[in-house]
Amino acid sequence: MNLQTGLFLALVLISVVSCSGPDSFQGTELDSPDVAPPFRLVNQFGDSVGLSDMAGKVVVLTFLYTNCPDICPLTTETLRRAHTILGNDSNQIEMVAISVDPQRDSVESAYQYSDERDMLNRWHYLVGNEEQLEPIWKSYWLDPIQETTNSADAPLNDEHGDGGIAPGTGAGGSALPRSAPDSYLVNHTAPVFLIDRRGYRRSLFSSLSLDPQPLVHDIRLLIE
């Protein structure tokens, strides 16, 4: 191979690499990324934590409650697995869960839930009262609905029945009341938002399976 041919092939290779698009998100890529709405609440250690404290890191944000019997433990386990797989890269992210159950979720219950699921030092489980939480829910397109139950046969959380984010009050339920019995479920979506280092919402998983790889993939895209 002469020098000219070698230079030509090198230029072709550089051109192919430079024209190749970036790896795509496996979650839903938000077409028009917007600045993630701010929040400031209290975590499982009783510390005040806000989105602004996480500037420069990739934020993995979801919405859960400690008495949830189904999707919340699954989401939590997937986040735990993702955190483990990321290894040292986990130092470049912050995982956050925001409560959708202000009546029952407290600093103490958030601590216990996090500890039991090996998430105590992996995330911030944020709690607050309804007046604090409701604007945050709305800004992330959630509308938790309380469903009273008196038996073990009560319907489980089906994420509004569509597996996605459903703004507005769903049929057959009611918005969270200011006082409520202890025996109830909270019908809610459990989206996972990925917020980039600049504070923009970039990718969305409407729900997670137990396979953490798609989430890890998108987190690493934003880390890079």
Residue spans of the domains in the chain: they are 26-223
Architecture of the domain whose range is 26-223: 3-Layer(aba) Sandwich (3.40)
Helices (H), 20-170: 71-86, 107-116, 130-139
Instruction: Give the Cα separation of 144 and 64 in Å (integer).
Output: 10
pLDDT tens profile 55-107: 999 999 999 999 999 999 999 999 999 999 999 999 999 999 999 999 999 99
Backbone angles phi, psi at 73, to 5 degrees: -60, -35
The pLDDT tens digits of the residues spanning 192-224 come to 999 999 999 999 999 899 999 999 999 999 999
Q: Nearest-CA neighbor of 105 among 129, 81, 132?
A: 129
- H/E stretch holding 7 reads helix 3-19
pLDDT tens-digit readout, 2-37: 444 343 334 333 333 333 345 899 999 998 889 999
Question: Which amino acid is residue 192, in one-letter code?
Answer: V
Per-residue HEC secondary structure of 188-212 comes to: CCCCEEEECCCCEEEEEECCCCCCC
Q: For residue 74, with 0-12 CB atoms within 10 Å meaning exposed, 13-18 middle and 19 or more buried, which class applies?
A: middle
CA distance 71 to 158: 8
